[in-house]
Each structure stands twice: as C-alpha cells, then as structure tokens.
Amino acid sequence: MLRLIVASLVSLSTVSLSTAISMAQVINSDGGTTPGTISVLGEGIVTATPDVFILEAGVMLNDLDLEKLQAELRQRCGAVVKAAQPFKLDKARTFTREYTITPRYDNTSRFLDYYVTQKFRFALSDLNQAEALTTAVVKAGATTIESIEFTFAESSEIWETAREQAVENAFKRATRMTKVIGSKPGRPRTINDQGNQLTVLGCAWNLKGQDQTTVAGSGLPEGDRAFFVSPTAVKFQARVQAQFEIVPLRFSERCDFIKNFACRHPS
C-alpha cells in the first residue's frame, strides 16, 4: 500500500515537472528546441559615509570705477583665500571657479556700473571643520555662499559595487522564479544598466539658500558661525535589467524539485 502511494505521488510530480520543463523551451520551426528566456530587474544598494565637504563661495561687487572695483575684489578675495588656508584643503579639488566683469546698462542703453564676480570652490577632507571653514570664509569677505555639499573623493568603486550587487540580485530573482516551474536560469542573454540614483540620508543646511547674496560677515545663524547637520550617509542605488536563458534542472536537482513539489501539492 505504501509503495502504491509513493509511486502515485512520484508519478503525479513527474508529470507536473515535465509540464513545467516544457514551459521553459521554445520549439523552432525546424523541430529543434532552444531555451526560453526570463527577464528580471535587479537592484543593488551600497550605503557610504561622505568623506569630502565642498564649499562654493564668491565675492560679488559693483561700482562705476572699474580699477577701484578690481582692487577691492583682489583685496577681498585675497582675504577669503587666506582665511581658508589653515584648513586641510584638498588642493586638487580647490580652485577659482569663475571670474567675470560685466558692464551693466539700463533699458535705454545708459551705462550703470560694472559688476565683478570671483567664485571659489573649496574641498575639505575633514568634515568636522565644515562649519568653521564656512564661517571663516564669510567673515573674511565672501558675499555669497552658492552651495555646500557633502560628497566623496572617489565614488566610482562604490558605484561598481552597487552594479555588481544589482546583477547578483537579478540572478537570484530569476533563480527563485524559474525554480517554481522546475527550471533554472542559464547563460545571460543581455544585461542592461537601468540608471543610478543617489539619495542623501540626513540633511544639509545652505547659508541663506542657493545663489543668495549676503553682506560680508553677516547672515550667519547662531550669531557668529555657520551651522549645519552633515548627512549621516549616502545611498548609492543601481538598477539593471537582465535576460537569462531558462534551462532544465539537472537530474539531482529534478529529484529535489519533485520532492518539494509533492510536499507543496499533496494529492
């Protein structure tokens, strides 16, 4: 009696398995068979802590006398650079970003004045000094803080790790999905990058907002210093779409599948 029950169970599972395996094949017009395919999305996420603080600041002035204006600009910019020098700046990423002289006119083409701008980009590796650097630059004569950013000196390796995880997760997803029909993913047909996303986990404070001009030495919260909360982490999120061939399970894998299938679908 026991043999009869087992034989019936195995027979039922074998039929179901054969049906599932046939679903994983495509019949060609010449009578041969080629593997079917499965397309899945995979996502990889790597979380990292920023290691560089970027401060973009500048001096903007206007006057009728261009020579006087340039002299004042040199004096103020010199003071700004001098104030930043005691900090541990990344010299490869610290530079003058912009220098402009713009004559301005009214709507009747009457000359009004000259408008000069010099902007700097400071890169600081010690994030604990971010507030002190910003405060020193503003007090030294910077009239605008265009942006602050907590970022990474090198992020390419982080992105590569996230992409590798995305491919691994795509394969795992394909494995779980095809296992239901008694098959498994085989060789990849295509793997396409579906874009990346960067998410800051935390918050950052920008002095008076983006592109807002301040009076030199003023506009500092808490009375006399800049204050902001650096991000706790940044999430690197990569996505891929992968297509795999669907191949039948090996004999030993089929046996395991039959047993598991029989347990899930008792007659």
For 191-240, the pLDDT digits (tens) are: 999 999 888 765 444 444 434 333 333 444 445 666 666 677 889 999 99
Q: Is the domain of 104 the same as that of 229?
A: no
Q: Which of 43, 49, 136, 57 is nearest to 95 (CA)?
A: 57
Among the three residues 99, 121, 151, which one is the final residue of a domain in this structure?
A: 151
Residue 18 lies in a domain: no
* Residue-range definition of the domain harbouring residue 93: 52-151
Q: Is the domain of 233 the same as that of 185?
A: yes
Among the three residues 101, 123, 151, which one is the final residue of a domain in this structure?
A: 151
Among the three residues 151, 179, 210, which one is the final residue of a domain in this structure?
A: 151
Q: Is the domain of 117 the same as that of 196?
A: no
Residue 188 lies in a domain: yes
Contacts of 27 (CB under 8 A, 6+ apart): 33
Burial of 80 (0-12, 13-18, 19+ CB in 10 A): buried
Q: What is the CATH number of the domain that holds 164?
A: 3.30.110.170
Type of residue found at 202: G
Q: Is the domain of 160 the same as that of 231?
A: yes
Q: Is the domain of 158 the same as that of 142?
A: no
Q: End-to-end CA distance of the chain, in Å? A: 15
Can you give the pLDDT at residue 181?
86
Structure tokens at 262: 């029989």
**Residues 2, 5, 9, 15, Cα dihedral to 10°:** 130
Q: Is the domain of 79 the same as that of 93?
A: yes
Instruction: Say whether pTM exceeds 0.85.
Output: no
Residue 257 lies in a domain: no
Can you give the pLDDT at residue 65?
95
Q: Is the domain of 138 the same as that of 166?
A: no
Q: Is the domain of 140 the same as that of 199?
A: no
What region does 167 belong to: left with phi over 0, alpha with psi -120 to 50, or beta?
A: alpha
The structural domain count of the chain equals: 2
Q: What is the CATH number of the domain that holds 139?
A: 3.30.70.2970
Q: Is the domain of 167 the same as that of 132?
A: no
For 66-125, the pLDDT digits (tens) are: 999 999 999 999 999 999 999 999 888 899 989 999 999 999 999 999 999 999 999 999
List the beta strands (DSSP E) in the chain: 25-27, 33-48, 52-63, 95-105, 111-124, 144-151, 183-201, 212-213, 233-248
Q: Is the domain of 166 the same as that of 116?
A: no
Type of residue found at 43: E
